[in-house]
Amino acid sequence: MRGIRLAAAALAVAGLVAAACGGTTPTPASSVSGSSAPATQTKTFTIGFTQSQTGNQNVTSKRQTEGIQLWVEDVTKAGGIKLKDGTVLMPQVKFYDDESKTDRVQALYTRLINDDKVDFLLSPYSSGLVKAAAVITEQNARLMVTAGGADDVTMEQGFKGVYQVYAPGSKYLIGAIDLMLKLDPTIKKVAIVNEKDSFSASVVAAANPYAKSKGLDVVVAEGYDTGTTDFNPFINKIQAAGPDAIIGGGHFEDGTTFAKQLFDKRVNARFVALLVAPAEPTFKDIGDAAQFIVGPSQWEPAAKYSAETAKAANVPYFGPTPKEFTDRYVAKYGSQPSYQSSGGYAAGLVLQKALEDAGSTDPQKLQAALDKIDVMLFYGRVKFSLDAKTHGKQIAHDMVYMQWQKGSDGKLATQLVWPQDAATAQAQLRK
């Protein structure tokens, strides 16, 4: 007995020395038993990214980071990511505040790669920042899973190592138009007002012709600068044009302000769908102005992805169920997760799946595994384009649509309203 204790102590000391020299900690479990199974080796696996702790993207970016951190916590609790050769990877994150600025993103991703020497990169939140980060990761021939960037254009640059978890921007408002026409086929006039950034522009570039193809008359089509706080000039135009519906927006701050000012000016559009902002739980802070607003969402807690849906799609299911993710998120952060939270967690799961499939942290093997991924998560299906021009672009994930509705208790809550087969409530028109 004493001998076993001594041997264990010697192994522990050797482990500490090895950790000091090479950052790895051999775990003596299997060698003590004398079995022929591969020796377990625990390594830290550092994942670098930036968060917009300040600036325009701070609310939604924080959600994304919370999702990533919850994934790290869950993986750690489960004993790490176990590779086929017996290596156990214990993920840890390293991130900085990018201030919602592209120049900060580029400086910080360079730092993460060259100074911090992180093992893998996840993206910042928002398309503009993702694009800035992607330039750096591509220049350095590094892999990056984009946790929160939907812009089509970014993923049509022929990047080799960037993988998009979000459904692309071109899908965002297409479903909203379908929902709108299903709800009220008499809607004819639509106003499209959007932020003039890469993401929103790609959304509108798809939504505008789609609306016209459905016989809708686009009576206002205008963009506004990022950071706009006074929407009255647009609202006056919208009111004069008398549209039945308004679609557009951009990100959280501007979308929230736009919705509030539309309500203050009592704009009579029956259907309003805005990007990003409505899907953030704190959107309800604008009170009655939030009611009836529809938002495209990458994921909602009411999503019904499961092992059964995976089987139906003939792909494996990986990770927690939507309910498990939601419960754990609520327990940790005290609020419902937004789709940005789910994007962060899903990016972690994609990395985990790729590492397990590759059985290695070798970048080439990891890239091959990412290329092959076709999996159902709590977040929905994830598969990447292998076409040279659109390599890494998300091709399997679908959007859902939520709406802020008042319940019988008079309180605002989100309901999943589209697609119909997954809806938790019928969509409502503003009276």
Give the interface with another protein as residue ranges (CB under 8 A): 53-56, 58, 99-100, 196, 222-225, 227, 229-230, 232-234, 236-237, 239-241, 253, 257, 264-266
Q: Smaller CB distance to another protein: residue 260 or 365?
A: 260
Q: Smaller CB distance to another protein: residue 98 or 357?
A: 98
Q: In this structure, are residues 370 and 143 in contact, taking their beta carbons and an 8 Å threshold? A: yes
SS3 (DSSP) at 190: strand
CA atoms of 420 and 415, how far apart (whole Å)? 12
In angstroms, what is the minimal distance from the CB of 118 to another protein? 25
Partners of 49 in the β-ladder:
95
Q: Smaller CB distance to another protein: residue 224 or 318?
A: 224
In angstroms, what is the minimal distance from the CB of 188 to another protein? 16
In angstroms, what is the minimal distance from the CB of 268 to another protein? 11
Closest CA to 165 of 173, 155, 175, 180: 155
Q: In this structure, are residues 305 and 328 in contact, taking their beta carbons and an 8 Å threshold? A: no
In angstroms, what is the minimal distance from the CB of 286 to another protein? 10
In angstroms, what is the minimal distance from the CB of 140 to another protein? 28
Q: Smaller CB distance to another protein: residue 140 or 239?
A: 239
In angstroms, what is the minimal distance from the CB of 93 to another protein? 21
SS3 (DSSP) at 249: strand
Closest CA to 178 of 230, 222, 213, 130: 213
CA atoms of 297 and 303, how far apart (whole Å)? 11
Which distant-in-sequence residues (6+ apart) come within 8 Å of 188 by Cβ?
A: 215, 216, 217, 244
The C-alpha R_g of the chain, in whole angstroms, comes to 23
Q: Smaller CB distance to another protein: residue 78 or 240?
A: 240
Q: How many of the other CB atoms lie within 10 Å of CB of 361?
A: 16
Which distant-in-sequence residues (6+ apart) come within 8 Å of 315 by Cβ?
A: 374, 375, 376, 381
CA atoms of 138 and 141, how far apart (whole Å)? 5
Q: Smaller CB distance to another protein: residue 223 or 337?
A: 223
In angstroms, what is the minimal distance from the CB of 150 to another protein? 22
Q: Smaller CB distance to another protein: residue 158 or 227?
A: 227
